[in-house]
Amino acid sequence: METDGTWAGHMELQAASLVTHSNICIHRHMSPRWYIRNFDYHEARMIHLSYHDGEHYNGVRLKEDSCIGSARPIIIKADADISAASIQSKTVTSKLKGAAGIINAGSIKLVMAGSGCENSEKVEEVLLQVGGDVDAAIEFLIAEQGTEEYSVKKQ
C-alpha cells in the first residue's frame, strides 16, 4: 500500500490499523461510516479514508486543511462516543474478569505460539493495547513482523 497503484482490501486495512496503532474510519457516499477499531484508548489516532465505487480508497482531509504535510486531525463527535461506549463496556468486562491491566499467562502463551514472537514482554504489551484480544494481538505481531522483513529486504 506504500506505492501508488498497490491493491488493498479489508485485511490490508486491518493490518495497517494494527501496525500504525490507529483506528480507521471509512466514509462512503450516502452510507453510514464504517470503522476498523482495534484500539479503545482515547489517544488512539483515527485515520479517515473514503471508499469510491467499490474499487479504491483515498485519504480524507478537512476543507480547511492546507494540504501541507500530514492531514490535520478530523474530529467527529460520533467517533468519540463510540470509543467512550467501548471503554465503558470493556471496563465492565474487566471488572467481571478480574483486575484491569492484568493479562492471563495462557493468553500470552497463545499469542506467542500463534505469532512466533518469543518476547513475552512485547506480547503482554500488545495484549494490553488490544484489550486482551488474543486474535488481534496475533494479527498485529504477524503484520509487524511482515513490515520488518519488508524493510530489511528493501535495504
How many separate domains does the chain show?
1
CA 99 to CA 106: how far, in whole Å? 16
Does some domain include residue 10?
yes
pLDDT digits 0-9 by tens, 116-145:
899 999 999 888 888 888 888 888 888 887
CATH number at residue 57: 3.90.70.80
Does some domain include residue 99?
no
CA 98 to CA 55: how far, in whole Å? 45
pLDDT digits 0-9 by tens, 28-74:
888 888 888 888 766 788 888 888 877 778 888 888 888 888 777 77
Does some domain include residue 118?
no
What range defines the domain where residue 20 resides?
1-76
Q: Are 137 and 116 in contact (CB under 8 A)?
A: no
Query: Does the pTM exceed 0.85?
Result: no
pLDDT digits 0-9 by tens, 40-52:
766 788 888 888 8
Does some domain include residue 151?
no
Split at pLDDT 50, 70, 90, the class of 149 is: low
Does some domain include residue 121?
no
| Strand 45-52 with 22-27, pairing | parallel
Q: Residue 6's pLDDT is what?
A: 64
